[in-house]
Amino acid sequence: MAFSHYYWSSRIFFFFFFLIFPCAYPLNFNLSSIGTANYNSFSTQQDARITDQGIQLTRARYSFGRATYAEPLHLWDNASGSLADFTTHFSFIVHASNASFFADGFAFFMAPVGSRIPVGAEGSGLALANPAENSSANHFFAVEFDSYRNEWDVVLPHVGIDINSMGSVSIANWDNSFAQRVVNDAWVSYRSSSKLLTVVFTSFSNGSTQRGSLNHTIDLRDYLPKMVSFGFSSGTREYFEENNIRSWEFNSTSPVHEEYSSVGRKRRANIGFIVGLSVGILVLIFGFALVGCLWWKKRKHWDEEEEELVRDMEDEFERGRGPKKFSYRDLARATSNFAVAQKLGEGGFGGVYKGYLQASDSHVAIKKVSQESRQGIKEYASEVRIISRLRHRNLVQLIGWCHERGKLMLVYELMPNGSLDSHLLKGKSLLTWAMRYNIVRGLASALLYLHEEWEQCVVHRDIKPSNVMLDSNFNAKLGDFGLARLVDHEKGSQTTVLAGTMAYMAPECFVTHQASKESDVYSFGILALEIACGRKPIDHEADESQTRIINWVWAVRNGKDPRSG
């Protein structure tokens, strides 16, 4: 009896707690390979199911299914009217066993919490809308991957942005080979400041991977409530196909601004106090104790993991010939205690500061890893293991390191002329043709060393202008080995999580998910064209046929930047 009373008291308390204090936090997750182990991460409707091969949205003919993430998204805040930003990336397979007759595709969507598949849904509605009803009966936003042309569709097949109906407000061609079981990727992002929704996607046709994109300006507050469900949906009738979601990553910001949430928090706190007393303070104490215990165990695991990581790194440095161990005091003094005025920029996992070492009378760049970034610490370790043993005139030299007071830092030689992108596209200075030619030669020499001349093959995976530094004579030095991987010379490639900068990635990486010497060379080729032409690798303001620099160069056959002299 006592246990039963405690159980129901706790259930009532937490019900009222979450009713009064609604979720107002960012939602982030990364399901790199969806399988049955992720069953509890999803809520499914009708024929959708979670299998070892991913999310199967439909079965065969006359089948409908939805799979949404188990937690709702706080899309916008009522008090401030502020919208959340979000980005998502998912990989998928659309495969037709009958290449002549197949339909209808699938959609990534957001809809009110509790939204269900409409009664009388048809395949063309992708389990989101009943085409026979007026659009006012539907409330959703979707990015559809449509493989069948309906009467309201302009082109076939296509990717479209839908608002409350299946008539897309923006579309792009999707030339895909549905007869082949090929993994494609899609990225969807929304920026609340500009209300701009952007979609980037891949397709496979004529033996190669293609990329396409579209965007649309929309205020999602006009169409969706504050809390939304989000996920994937699909539907079929007499024609059908396989629609399979293989992986899914999602990141959002919180729409609640501090100045608005503080007022609401005070008002709700009074109600929460009364409800909390009615169900018992002991429940709250138990909850805090449980959370504290879980946090302590997780923190302990992190600390042990970090200590092991640091020991491995120290062993790497001990085996190395050059890097020196610095004290935290020396580096703090060198950077005026890491003053804002000394900050050169912000990397993917921490700040980079300019410093002056009195003992060696030299200027250095100090990379300081944020302790909040677990990924940053892993990339730091990867960089240490590789660059501490590399010696080449066209690689940024690692001078030393520091692990003290819980801080992780790397000390590099300072490149007086900064990164290549600041000159190439931001107009910091004019690069003559001779300078550009010398920069390309230097990068080629660095890649030859990494791929063939060192004892192991190093695949960099992120060759781009911001990772190319320039010394006082504008000689190029390749840096930032946070994503680099070691592979055998004979093998030359490694299956890995997709990483790098999309505009510079080889098309096959989106299908094979393999990093290789060849993919590095492709990135180098794109960068070489960018250096020669003074043009971004992807220019969304150009004509559709010349958006990518490769297509543009083939078109003009004379892509030299006229400013190079």
Distance CA 469, CA 391 (A): 16
Buried b (16+ CB within 10 A) or exposed e, 27-52: beeebeebeeebeeebebbbbbbbee
Can you say whether the dihedral through the CA atoms of 474, 475, 480, 483 is positive or negative? positive
Q: Return d(Cα 44, Cα 94) in angstroms, integer.
A: 19
- List the one residue out of 491, 318, 470 whose CA is nearest residue 394: 470
Strands 398-404 and 324-325 turn out to be parallel
In whole angstroms, what is the distance from residue 521 CA to residue 452 CA?
A: 13
Rounded Cα distance, 469 and 483, in Å: 17
**What does DSSP assign to residue 359?**
T
d(CA 564, CA 432): 4
Which residue carries 């199911």 as its tokens? Answer: 49
The angle formed by the CA atoms of residues 286, 287 and 288, to the nearest 5 degrees, is 95
- 297 labelled as ligand-binding? no
Q: C-alpha distances in angstroms, 493 versus 178, 209, 236, 485?
A: 28, 19, 40, 9
Of the residues 47, 162, 185, 462, only one is catalytic, namely 462
Cα-Cα end-to-end distance for the chain? 88
Say how far apart CA 365 and CA 356 lie, in whole Å.
9
462 catalytically annotated: yes
Alpha-carbon gap, residue 552 to 534, rounded angstroms: 12
DSSP string, 75-113: -B-TTT-PBPPEEEEEEEEEE-SSSSS---EEEEEEEET
Residue numbers in the known binding site for ATP are 368
Residue numbers in the known binding site are 368
What are the catalytic residues?
Answer: 462
